[in-house]
Amino acid sequence: MKDAHEATYGPDADEFPDYNKDLQGEGMFWTRVINREHPDRTGQMACAARIFWVDFTDPPPPGPGVVDSTLLAELAWERTRVPDTEVALNPADAPQKVNLPTWVWLDDATFEPVSVRAELDGYGLWAETTATPARLTLRPGTDDATTHPPSSICEASAGTIGTPWTPGASGTPPCGITYTRATTNSGTYPLSASLTWDITWTDSLGDSGTLPDGDFSTTLDITVEEVQTIVR
């Protein structure tokens, strides 16, 4: 590019023209920025390589990869960091028991929506993405278990998923697992808990939309023991 400029205007840098310098503060030059980490090679090169000027009073021109509300929302979601999926169990810090329901729930301290805003400076264009915990999917790690509810999916209700166990609580938990076989000969069961976050966005134009859900999992090694009792 430098050689092309010198061929046109001469080797003296002072002869290079100042494009749109009189419009400084009234707009910006636009050009293509390639995301080399994007898995779609064709998508990386989809937007035009030319450089062009856009006044702050004009909307960005439409086209592949041009910054708009949806792209800002996707960028905000890419920059969103949600807490690690950490579930609480009862019995806690002890082997689970055969045929004794294991209560599962999420810690209220980390169970709340997370919002991130992405903004295009100068144009007043922004989009805010909000990730909201929606449902917890339990996979016991063995066929010798029953999930509560039977669907294995614990839906959010009143801003929480699952119910913390309290002394005296009995019966079937709203979210949990009942193991029916001990791990004596199998080591442990890999209990998988996958938290799904619903993704929504709003923008400076008053529009809104959704993005694909985000799923974040954790795996716990569960030991289950059998307790022998005599009923008289």
Residues 6+ apart with CB under 8 A from 4: none
- Range in 13-17, 23-27, 126-130, 134-138 with the lowest mean pLDDT: 13-17
The whole-number average pLDDT for the span 188-196 is 96
The whole-number average pLDDT for the span 152-168 is 90
pLDDT digits (tens, 9 = 90+) for 68-109: 899 899 999 999 999 989 899 998 878 999 999 999 999 776
pLDDT at residue 12, as a whole number: 66
pLDDT-derived band at 8, boundaries 50, 70, 90: confident
**Closest to 101 in 3D by CA, of 111, 91, 109, 115:** 91
Angstrom distance (rounded) from CA 91 to CA 85: 19
Angstrom distance (rounded) from CA 54 to CA 204: 19
pLDDT-derived band at 15, boundaries 50, 70, 90: low
Mean pLDDT of all residues belonging to the chain:
87
State both tokens at 141. 């790690």
| E strand or H helix at 160 | none
* The pLDDT of residue 164 is above 70: yes
Angstrom distance (rounded) from CA 117 to CA 105: 30
The whole-number average pLDDT for the span 32-58 is 81
Angstrom distance (rounded) from CA 185 to CA 199: 42
State both tokens at 207. 């529009």
Residues 6+ apart with CB under 8 A from 202: 127, 128, 130, 208
pLDDT-derived band at 134, boundaries 50, 70, 90: very high
Share of the chain above pLDDT 70, in %: 92
pLDDT-derived band at 170, boundaries 50, 70, 90: confident
Q: Are 2 and 11 in contact (CB under 8 A)?
A: no
Q: Which residue has the higher pLDDT, 183 or 42?
A: 183
Where are the strands (E) in the chain, listed by range? 27-30, 52-55, 87-90, 96-97, 102-106, 114-120, 125-139, 145-148, 153-155, 176-179, 189-203, 208-222, 224-225
State both tokens at 160. 């929480």
Domain boundaries, the chain: 1-66, 67-232
The whole-number average pLDDT for the span 136-161 is 94
State both tokens at 168. 């005296």
pTM for the structure as a whole: 0.77
Share of the chain above pLDDT 90, in %: 51
